Amino acid sequence: MSSTEVIGEFKSVTKRFGATTALDGLSLEIHRGINGLIGPNGAGKTTAIRLSLGLIKPNAGKAELFGFDCWNNSYAIRRKVGVLYEKLAFYDHLSGLEQLKLMAKLKGASESLVELKELLKLVELDEAAHDRRIGGYSAGMRQRLGLAQALLGNPELVFLDEPTSNLDPLNRAKILELIAFLNEEKNTSFLISSHILSELERVCDNFILMNKGKLLRQGGLEQMTDKTATTKFIVKVQPIGSVVALLKDEPYVEDLSTVDDSLQVTVSDVGLFKQRLPLLIGQAGASLDEVKMVKSDLEAVFKLAVEEA
Amino acid sequence: MSGRVGLALLKAEIGKVWARPILEITVALMAVMATFLVQPITKIVSHSNFSVLIQSIMAENVSSVVSSLMLPLVVMCAVLMSLSFAKDYESGLMQSILSAPVSRKMLFTVKFFAVVLPLALLTWIFTTFFVGLTFYSSPWLVLQLSLFALPVAFLFLMFCGSIGALVALVVKRTIPAVLTAFLVNFALWFPTTIITEVAFKEGAFYANYLCLTPYNGALVFLDKSLGIVPKISSEFADALEISLSAVDFGALLIVYVSILMVPLFVYFWRRFEICE
């Protein structure tokens, strides 16, 4: 359920830790729906999440969530959100069910055992593990419990910091399905920080790309990829050999390879390539079947944006 | 609502702090120290004709047991308090709890009580038990006198705990915080081992101020509350230990605790940042 409704906003937020600037005048918007927070290690993603929850105070700028100031009114914010941190920590002497019951009490959510078990079932935590000490849980089980904890009390917004990092591909897909389901059925919004961009591409409708504490880009997938001019083409010609020979000598061709009956060309100057290709095909006496631009994906956007920055 | 939440959190914190083998170690340490202080029965027999003397010996026994428990209390309080703050900060548990609608004031209070309350209760139980071993024929009197140990233990544990928490919030790393808190508390406890009478006799310049140290002050507060006459000869009648009252020493302890606790509480509530 995507929307352009803004539920959170950072306005020129700066956060310094000693000599290190973690957030450098960061301005971004969190939309209702599923937001993907991407950026290389050290980009400031986790700092932005902590700042949203009032765990740290900005040195400058203003951060708001649901209209509340993130530092001065963090209590009101924390009533509306759930969080799953990358670093999972629980009361290890408690069982999964006891931990969930405690957190439900802290959040003012329902402590009904039926509902808590239902939640654990939703995140697919084995029933046998419900009454076992958390200290004996595997990394994957802890991740599921963390997710159940984050979803307690039907929060309006859930922060997920690397939610699938300890899960196998099958379970990663299930978690993504669950996120999409909760967004669709319960109108729960998410802010997901992850390095697995292909996964984010599948579920997110708003992306926030950060680097070195600054916002590089923000928008939907279309908007993000449109900004990245593709330089890769697939060309289908008959016969292929003579065209390959001619293209090899062109100075703007950076990479050339043949896959089955087509050519994959990466160029440095798209305009010149488009101008020269018909001429070269004519010169080779070949016939052109198809020319396709390889659509830029989130990973390409990410690489390009980070390199540019 | 917040009381219920606080109690649930306190229960979880106590379960975490006192998980095996911490409770067992503490009990063993306190038992070892207190065992040495059980009064030999001959001493009681020799005074058995005088009920007033029995009561005073009992009071001295309470004082001795509390004094013998001081080292394990100082060590365990410093270690557990710094462990509770620094480990939770480092492991991310503090971040996780404070991401729920839990106030910082509540978390701070709960963390303190989770360490201080069980230790104060253990002090009272041990005092009652070990004084009772000798004076089992007067259980009510034993109970009455050993109750004095509770507020004294509570106050000086709050002081030790404040140091532990302060170190943990500054250092933020478990092992260095625990070691530093232990060393600082140990260094502050050490003057209690100096016998004031001897220091006076030797003309040591600090002799008159020994009773003003937090740990010595706690013991003097207990002694004065129990009506025990300070063990300083009459030639030093103007010594602070003699001239100040139990209330003065109680107030002094409260001041020591407040000086550390109040700024620490305000810092944790208003300024402390969780950025592990």
Task: Write the pLDDT tens digit of every residue in A161-178.
Answer: 988 887 888 888 888 999
Strand (E) or helix (H) holding A21: strand A20-31
Q: How far apart are CA B157 and CA B155, in angstroms?
A: 5
**3-class SS of residue A16:** strand
Q: Which of B5, B16, B273 faces A55 most closely, judged by CB atoms?
A: B273
Task: Provide, as residue numbers in chain B, all residues whose Cβ is less than 8 Å from the Cβ of A56.
Answer: 273-275
Q: How far apart are CA A82 and CA A150, in angstroms?
A: 4
DSSP 8-state symbol, A218:
E
Q: Which of B8, B88, B271 faces A102 most closely, judged by CB atoms?
A: B8
What is the average pLDDT across B255-275? 93
Measured between CB atoms, does B91 come within 8 Å of chain A? yes
Helices assigned H by DSSP within B48-173: 51-91, 93-98, 104-134, 139-146, 149-171
Q: Which of A53, A75, A91 faces B103 most closely, judged by CB atoms?
A: A75
Measured between CB atoms, does B273 come within 8 Å of chain A? yes
> Max CA-CA distance within chain B?
66
Task: Provide, as residue numbers in chain A, all residues whose Cβ is less than 8 Å from the Cβ of B103.
Answer: 75
Q: What amino acid is encoded at A297 in this protein?
A: D
Q: How far away is chain B from the Cα of A75, in angstroms, using its nearest Cα?
A: 5
Percent of chain B at pLDDT above 90? Answer: 51
Residue A108 to residue B101, Cβ atoms within 8 A: yes
Task: Provide, as residue numbers in chain B, all residues whose Cβ is less than 8 Å from the Cβ of A133.
Answer: none
Percent of chain B at pLDDT above 70? Answer: 93
Tally of CB atoms within 10 A around B148 = 22
CA dihedral B214, B220, B225, B226 (to 10 degrees): 140
**Confidence check: pLDDT of A305 > 80:** no
- Find, among A23, A3, A21, A4, the residue nearest to A13 by Cα: A23
Which pLDDT value is given to residue A220?
86
Each residue of A80-123: pLDDT tens digit? 999 999 889 999 999 999 999 999 999 988 889 999 999 999 88
B191 upstream amide cis, omega within 30 of 0: no
Q: How far apart are CA A107 and CA A152, in angstroms?
A: 8
**Confidence check: pLDDT of A304 > 80:** no
Measured between CB atoms, does A92 come within 8 Å of chain B? yes
Measured between CB atoms, does A47 come within 8 Å of chain B? yes
Residue A47 banded pLDDT, cuts 50, 70, 90: very high
Residue A230 banded pLDDT, cuts 50, 70, 90: low
Q: How far apart are CA B84 and CA B78, in angstroms?
A: 10
Q: Which residues have CB under 8 Å from B32's CB, separation 6+?
A: none
- Find, among B62, B84, B74, the residue nearest to B131 by Cα: B62
Contact indicator for A229, A294 with CB cutoff of 8 Å: no
Helix, strand counts (H, E) of chain B: 13, 0
Which pLDDT value is given to residue A149?
95
Determine the residue among A86, A102, A142 to mutate to test chain B binding: the one whose Cβ has the most chain B Cβ atoms within 10 Å: A102
**Confidence check: pLDDT of A292 > 90:** no
Q: Which two tokens stand for residue A154?
A: 């039907």
Q: For chain B, how are helix, strand and coil distributed in percent, rounded to 5?
A: 80, 0, 20
Q: How far apart are CA B112 and CA B261, in angstroms?
A: 10
Measured between CB atoms, does A94 come within 8 Å of chain B? yes
B92 to chain A: nearest residue by CA? A89
Measured between CB atoms, does B173 come within 8 Å of chain A? no
Domain parsing of chain B, residue ranges: 2-270
Predicted complex ipTM:
0.83
CA dihedral B122, B123, B124, B127 (to 10 degrees): 120
Residue A228 banded pLDDT, cuts 50, 70, 90: low
Residue A260 banded pLDDT, cuts 50, 70, 90: confident
Q: Which of B16, B98, B276 faces A91 most closely, judged by CB atoms?
A: B16
**Confidence check: pLDDT of B40 > 80:** no
The DSSP string of B66-99 is: HHHHHHHHHHHHHHHHHHHHHHHHHHTHHHHHHT
**Confidence check: pLDDT of A192 > 90:** yes
Q: How far away is chain B from the Cα of A93, in angstroms, using its nearest Cα?
A: 6
Residue B95 to residue A94, Cβ atoms within 8 A: no
Measured between CB atoms, does B19 come within 8 Å of chain A? yes
Task: Provide, as residue numbers in chain A, all residues whose Cβ is less than 8 Å from the Cβ of B274.
Answer: 50, 55-56
Residue B92 to residue A85, Cβ atoms within 8 A: yes
Question: What's chain A's average pLDDT?
Answer: 88
Determine the residue among A49, A84, A86, A93 to mutate to test chain B binding: the one whose Cβ has the most chain B Cβ atoms within 10 Å: A93
φ/ψ bin of B204: left (φ > 0), alpha (ψ from -120 to 50), beta (otherwise): beta
Question: What's chain B's average pLDDT?
Answer: 88
Percent of chain A at pLDDT above 90? Answer: 50
Q: How far apart are CA B71 and CA B134, in angstroms?
A: 23
How many CB pairs below 8 Å do chains A and B form together?
A: 74
Q: Which two tokens stand for residue A276?
A: 């020269």
Residue A94 to residue B15, Cβ atoms within 8 A: yes
**Is the dihedral angle over the CA atoms B129, B131, B132, B138 positive or is it negative?**
negative
Which pLDDT value is given to residue B268?
95
Residue A55 to residue B98, Cβ atoms within 8 A: yes
Q: Which of B100, B274, B276 faces A103 most closely, judged by CB atoms?
A: B100
**Is the dihedral angle over the CA atoms B239, B245, B249, B251 positive or is it negative?**
negative
Q: How far apart are CA A213 and CA A73, in angstroms?
A: 23
pTM for the model: 0.84
Q: How far apart are CA A286 and CA B36, in angstroms?
A: 103
Q: How far away is chain B from the Cα of A57, in angstroms, using its nearest Cα?
A: 7
Residue A151 banded pLDDT, cuts 50, 70, 90: very high
CA dihedral A46, A172, A225, A208 (to 10 degrees): -20
Domains, chain A, ranges and CATH?
6-226 (3.40.50.300), 232-293 (3.30.70.100)
Which pLDDT value is given to residue B192?
82
- Mode of pairing for the β-strands spanning A189-193 and A34-38: parallel
Residue A55 to residue B16, Cβ atoms within 8 A: no
What is the average pLDDT across B116-126? 94
Which pLDDT value is given to residue A3?
63
Residue B104 banded pLDDT, cuts 50, 70, 90: very high
Q: How far apart are CA B67 and CA A28, in angstroms?
A: 60
Which residues 8-27 of A have a C-beta within 8 angstroms of B? 17
B103 to chain A: nearest residue by CA? A75
**3-class SS of residue A240:** coil
Tally of CB atoms within 10 A around B114 = 22
Which of A53-67, A198-212, B39-53, B83-97 is the least confident region?
Answer: B39-53
Measure Cα distances from B62 to A157, A246, B222 in Å: 57, 101, 9
Q: Which two tokens stand for residue A300?
A: 């390409």
Which pLDDT value is given to residue A241?
83
- Find, among A30, A146, A191, the residue nearest to B96 by Cα: A146
Q: How far away is chain B from the Cα of A304, in angstroms, using its nearest Cα?
A: 30
**Confidence check: pLDDT of B216 > 70:** yes
Which pLDDT value is given to residue B177?
95
Return the higher-pLDDT residue of A101 and A242. Answer: A101
Which pLDDT value is given to residue B193?
84
Measured between CB atoms, does B275 come within 8 Å of chain A? yes
CA dihedral A209, A214, A219, A222 (to 10 degrees): -50
The number of angstroms, rounded, from the C-alpha of A81 to the middle of its chain's C-alpha atoms is 18
What is the average pLDDT across B150-173? 94
Residue B191 banded pLDDT, cuts 50, 70, 90: confident
- Find, among A60, A86, A89, A65, the residue nearest to A77 by Cα: A65
Task: Provide, as residue numbers in chain B, all residues whose Cβ is less than 8 Å from the Cβ of A102.
Answer: 8-9, 12
Which pLDDT value is given to residue B56?
83
**Confidence check: pLDDT of A74 > 90:** yes
Which pLDDT value is given to residue B49?
61
